[in-house]
Amino acid sequence: MAPRSEAVIIGGGPAGLMAAEVLAAAGTAVTVVERMPSVGRKLLLAGRGGLNLTHSEDLPCFLARYGTAASLLAPAIALFPPQALRGWSEGLGQPTFVGSSGRVFPVALKTSPLLRAWLARLRLLGVEFLLRHHWEGWDGAGALCLRGPDGAVRRLRPAATLLALGGASWPRLGSDGSWTATLAARDVAVTRLEAANCGVTLDWSAPFRGRFAGTPLKRIAASAGGPGLRGEAVVTETGLEGGVIYALSAALRAALASQVRDPAGAFSAAAGARVVLSLDLRPDLSEEALRARLDRPAQGQSLANFLRKTVGLAPVGIGLLREAALAEPDALGSAAAIARTIKRLDLPVLGLAPIGRAISSAGGSACEELDAGFMLRRLPGVFAAGEMLDWEAPTGGYLLQAAFATGAAAGRGMLAWLARGQT
């Protein structure tokens, strides 16, 4: 007979570790199973950008960032709000501060001190870690099947199980989305995992790509059929990345979903309406103000020098205008046309960056599959939390906040299940 463990958590990311803390602090025996050699790898990756833990805006505005998933996440975040997350971090010896954008960071601006302190706390609480073990589902008797590094399968029959398996972004860190087939085989509804908070692919000309790949685009605005958003981006070999592009990825993905996919499943441009990313290269100046400046005599200057001196365009911006002129020769035909193109430079979008390079993923276990305690309705005693659930959010602290909060909520749900003596 397979040995029993009171609670098993599959996945050593923020959601899984937070659930482990809630359970262990209440006296529950907890084993965290992780397929990688160490836990918290994606959290460490997030620390490269300073570890944006959460955001300081008012809770109603904060919750609105989750769109249709707000109804699922609101109760969990209300019980573990941004201020509680900041207090938790401080309790680990990592005080936080609010940046100029309202984002919240640890003073250390990195993950490793926080993660070390957190793991020390979990070990002190008695949490055990089973590393290099890959969850392969359940056997016929309902035991968890865990394949170890030697290829042998270990079986556990816990009283409660949490799945905190992540999405499918950055699969080399451990979360590759392979769990979707396992849950689908158990009739748990799973929405297709797709890239979120990701770059876009564009058809750059070879000269533009060769000269400007890696160049930042500063103080621009971008839109995808809706209101423009200000921010920054970076030209890549294949398109654009950066905060303002990530913020539009959900809208672009929805538009691209109506387009044809190629045999490999990638988006491709279809006949009919194009999916367009529009850039405003000078959002601080109106089209009329630009046109007035551009109506001045060039006095023998090259177009590049004239645009640089007259409207303050950087070389990459001038390069983008020339890209636009390749598709629309009249884009640079007059002062009025140049002003119009600067304010609305339309770039046909070929697709989104691959999910493996995305910051996060959309889709996952459908919200209606969960009860109020984050237990899967079709699998009594099995809970789910974190990015594997079907929600998405912009960057800015919302991703980690929801991961921590749903992990804590699932931990409380597991405690309630164990208290009822359910098996």
DSSP codes, 51-85: ---EE-S-HHHHHHTTGGGHHHHHHHHHHS-HHHH
- Distance between CA atoms of 46 and 10, rounded to whole angstroms? 21
Ramachandran angles phi, psi of 31, nearest 5°: -120, 125
Query: What's residue 270's pLDDT?
Result: 47
C-alpha distances (whole Å) from 203 to each of 60, 273, 323, 348, 418 are 40, 17, 10, 8, 55
Query: What's residue 272's pLDDT?
Result: 45
Give the side-chain half-sphere CA count within 13 A for 423.
8
Contact between 25 and 125 (Cβ < 8 Å)? yes
- Report the sign of the C-alpha dihedral through residues 186, 188, 192, 195, in that order: negative
Alpha helices by DSSP H, listed for 272-367, are 287-294, 303-311, 315-327, 335-343
Token couple for 257: 């979903």
Give me the helix-helix angle, 398-419 and 82-91, nearest 10°.
80
- Distance between CA atoms of 159 and 142, rounded to whole angstroms? 11
As a dihedral over the C-alpha atoms of residue 124, residue 128, residue 131, residue 136, rounded to 10 degrees, the angle is: -150
Strands 229-235 and 345-352: unpaired
Query: What's residue 269's pLDDT?
Result: 47
DSSP tag of 310: H
Contact between 385 and 409 (Cβ < 8 Å)? yes
Q: Which of 403, 402, 305, 349 is nearest to 70 (CA)?
A: 402
- State pTM to two decimals: 0.90
Query: What's residue 49's pLDDT?
Result: 81
What residue ranges of the chain have pLDDT lower than 70? 1-4, 260-273, 422-423
Each residue's pLDDT tens digit, 201-231: 999 999 999 999 999 999 999 999 888 899 9
Query: What's residue 422's pLDDT?
Result: 61
Token couple for 176: 């590759």
Question: Hey, what domains does the chain have and what are their CATH numbers?
Answer: 7-195+359-419 (3.50.50.60), 200-352 (no CATH)
Contact between 204 and 392 (Cβ < 8 Å)? no
Query: What's residue 48's pLDDT?
Result: 86
- Distance between CA atoms of 223 and 344, rounded to whole angstroms? 9
